[in-house]
Amino acid sequence: MKKIILIFTALLLLSFNYALQYKYASSKPVEIVYIKNLRNLSYSPYIDDKALTIFYIPLPDYVLEDWYKKVEDGVYEIKENKLIFNFKPNLSEKKTLDIIGRYIKAHGGTFVYIDKAPAGYKGVLGTGVILSGLEISDNGDYGLDVAKRKLRVNYNEIDKIKALKVSKALGINISYIVTGDSGVKLVKETFPNPSEIGEIIGVYWFPYRGDNYTHLQYKPDELINLIKKIYLATDDIVGLSYYPIPHLDKAPYTFRNDPIGYYYPKVIHYNPSIKDWEEGLESENKYYHAVSDEPYWDEKYEEVSKWYYEGNPVPLVNESKMWERYKYFSDWYVKNYAYLLAIGCDALYLESSDKYLLNLILGRADSDSKIVNIKNLTSYLIVPGERGFKIEDGVPIITFPSLWNESYGATVINDVYIKPDDDFGVYVAKLSSYNTMFIYKLKREGIKVMSFKELANWLERYYRNSVYLKNNTIELKDYKGFKVVIYTNKKIKEVYPENSTIIYLKDKIIVENAKKIVLS
C-alpha cells in the first residue's frame, strides 16, 4: 500500500481537538491542502503530482461551477485526481471518506475504511444516569446549610433504580454518574419541644409545612449503601463529585460535616505558604461565594456577588486574592481525588476541559500538584468538549459537550441527547427523567447502547486499530466486532474467517468480522 499523506496548513490546526479520525487505506495516496484562493492553484506543488489531492477553497458553488466540473455537491474536479471541496474536508466524518471512496472507485482504485459503528449496528451510543438530588431554587421546600448560609433547595431522594436493573437484564449497561447528592438525606422533627424552637429555627432546622422541621444532612454512610446497590445494577460508576455540588460550588473546600478519617482516607487542605494543597489535619469551614439574587431560606442576597469569610463579607480589596486562590480548579483537584481514593470509581467526570486541570489530574510533570495522579485509580476520563476520543498518558479520554448550566453560582446538570451519526451518540439524564423506553427504541433501530466504560473500551480499540491494503489484500489489525466499508470495482475472492459477513450495496461493500479480505 502506498503511504497516505495528510497535509494541513496552520490555519487548519489552530485548535487541538479530540476528534477520532477514521482508519482507512487507499490504493492511491491522498493529500488535503488548504488554498486561500483559485490564483494559488497554479503555484501549488501538488497540482501535478500523482496523488489524489483535495484542495479546500471556501468559495460558493456558482463561482466554482463556472470553472470546473461538478463531481458531487460542493465537490469539483480540476483535472483527474485533483478535487476542490468548498466545505472543510474532515477525516473524522464519514461524508469526506465516502466522497473520496466513490471518486477512487470511479477511477479504478480501491479505498477502504473501518466503520466507527460495531459490526451488526448502525451506530453506537454511550448512556448514563445522573444521581443528582439537589438544586438551588427560589421556591425550594428544603434548606441546605452551606458554610453558615442557609439555601433554599429542591430535594429528591435517590432510591429508584429498579427500571435500570431491568435494562441490564435486557443486555444494556448504564453508567451511574454520582454527584454526591446521593449522600444527602432529609432529617425531620415533628412537634419539637416549644422551648427548643427559638434555638433551632434559623440555626440548623428549617420550618416545613406546619409543625414539621427539617434539614438536609450529608451522610457518607448513605452514599456507601447506594454504591453497594448500584454495583448490582451496573459495572460502571462515574465520579462527578464526592460532596453535594452546591457545597462545592458555593463554598469550595468547606464542609460542615466533613467525614474526617472514616470515609475520607486522606484529608486535604490548602497551605497558603506553598500555594498548593496538601495532606492535613482538618478541612476548612470558612469560605462562601455569594451570588446576587440567590435565595437564602428567608431572604434574597441583594448585593453584588462577593466572597464571605466565616459569615462576613471579604473586603473588595481582597476579592482578587480570593479568586487567585481558586483559579486552578482546586475544587476538582480535591473532591475528585478524594472520591476516587474513597470509593474507587471506574471513571472520573471533569467539569472543565482546562489543560492545567488535566495536567493536575494526570499528575504531569508540568503541573504544580504534589499529590494528585489518578492514572492508576480510574480506567478512563470524561471531559467536556466536542465529541471525540484520545489517549493521554495511557488514560482513555471521552469528550462530548458539557452537561452543565449555572443557577445562582452552582452547577445544574441537564439531560442531554446527542444523536449517534458518524460518531458515537450520548444520552445522559437524571434518574427522575431517564427514559428506558427511549434506549430500548434506539436498540431496536440498530444502535449499540452501552455504558461509558464500554464506550471507552470500544473507542480505544478503534483508536489502536489499523487497516492495510497491499496489492489486492485488505487486512485489519483487530477485526472481531469491526466492519469495513470498501469502494472498489473488484470482486471479493475470499475472506478470513470464512464465516465473515459480506453485504453488497449499490456503490460499496461492507464486510463484518473479517481479518483478511482478498480481492480479484
Model confidence at 117, pLDDT cuts 50, 70, 90, reads very high
Tens-digit pLDDT profile for residues 433-451: 889 899 999 999 999 999 9
Query: Residue 109 is which amino acid?
Result: G
- pLDDT computed for residue 228 by the predictor: 67
pLDDT greater at residue 374 or residue 460: 460
Percent of the chain with pLDDT over 90: 38
3 state SS of 454: helix
- pLDDT computed for residue 334 by the predictor: 55
Q: 145-176 burial by CB neighbour count: b if 16+ within 10 A, else e?
A: bbbebbbbbebbebeebeebeebeeeebbbbb
> CA angle at residue 518 from 513 to 520, to 5 degrees?
140
Q: Are 106 and 126 in contact (CB under 8 A)?
A: no
> Stretch 186-197: mean pLDDT, rounded?
75
Question: Torsion angle, CA of 5/67/42/12, rounded to 10 degrees?
Answer: -40
- pLDDT computed for residue 38 by the predictor: 78
Query: Which residue is listed with cell 470464512?
Result: 498
> Stretch 23-31: mean pLDDT, rounded?
95
How far is the C-alpha of 72 from the C-alpha of 99, rounded, in Å? 8
- pLDDT computed for residue 70 by the predictor: 95
Please enumerate, as own/partner, the contacts of 476-479 that have beta carbons within 8 Å and a separation of 24 or more: 476/114, 476/514, 476/515, 476/516, 479/513, 479/514, 479/515
pLDDT > 90? residue 249: no
Domain locations in the chain as residue ranges: 24-113, 133-187, 194-231, 233-411, 412-519
End-to-end Cα distance, the chain: 16
- pLDDT computed for residue 161 by the predictor: 65
Query: Residue 513 is which amino acid?
Result: N
pLDDT greater at residue 402 or residue 97: 97
Q: What angle do the packed helices 355-362 and 330-343 form, to 10 degrees?
A: 30
Q: For residue 218, give Cα distances in angstroms to 160, 224, 247, 281, 470.
A: 19, 12, 10, 20, 62
- pLDDT computed for residue 328 by the predictor: 44
Respond yes or no on whether the N-terminal peptide bond of residue 29 is cis (omega within 30° of 0).
no
pLDDT > 90? residue 505: yes
Q: Nine-digit cell at 484?
A: 469495513
Question: Which of 190, 108, 184 has the alpha carbon at shortest distance from 146?
Answer: 184
Please list the residues that pair with 399 across neighbouring strands. 383, 388
Q: Which helix (H) or strand (E) holds 195?
A: helix 194-200
- pLDDT computed for residue 182 by the predictor: 75
Which segments of 251-394 does DSSP mark as H helices, in order?
319-326, 330-343, 355-362
- pLDDT computed for residue 274 by the predictor: 62
Number of Cβ within a 10 Å radius of residue 404? 13
Q: Are 93 and 422 in contact (CB under 8 A)?
A: yes
pLDDT greater at residue 402 or residue 121: 121
Query: Which residue is listed with cell 464465516?
Result: 499
How far is the C-alpha of 217 from the C-alpha of 225, rounded, in Å? 16
Q: Are 466 and 23 in contact (CB under 8 A)?
A: yes
Phi, psi of 111 (to 5 degrees): -140, 135
This prediction has a pTM of 0.86
Residue partners of 397: CB distance under 8 A and separation at least 6: 18, 380, 381, 382, 383, 389, 390, 391
- pLDDT computed for residue 247 by the predictor: 78
DSSP 8-state code for residue 36? S
Q: For residue 131, give Cα distances in angstroms to 244, 320, 487.
A: 11, 35, 46
- pLDDT computed for residue 451 by the predictor: 94
Q: Which helix (H) or strand (E) holds 491?
A: none
Model confidence at 245, pLDDT cuts 50, 70, 90, reads confident
Q: Which helix (H) or strand (E) holds 116?
A: none
Model confidence at 367, pLDDT cuts 50, 70, 90, reads low
How far is the C-alpha of 214 from the C-alpha of 190, rounded, in Å? 9
pLDDT > 50? residue 11: no
Question: Which of 3, 37, 30 has the alpha carbon at shortest distance from 96?
Answer: 30
Model confidence at 12, pLDDT cuts 50, 70, 90, reads very low
pLDDT > 50? residue 275: yes
Tens-digit pLDDT profile for residues 199-209: 666 666 777 77
How far is the C-alpha of 422 from the C-alpha of 23, rounded, in Å? 13
The region of weakest confidence among 293-307, 336-350, 379-393 is 336-350
- pLDDT computed for residue 508 by the predictor: 97
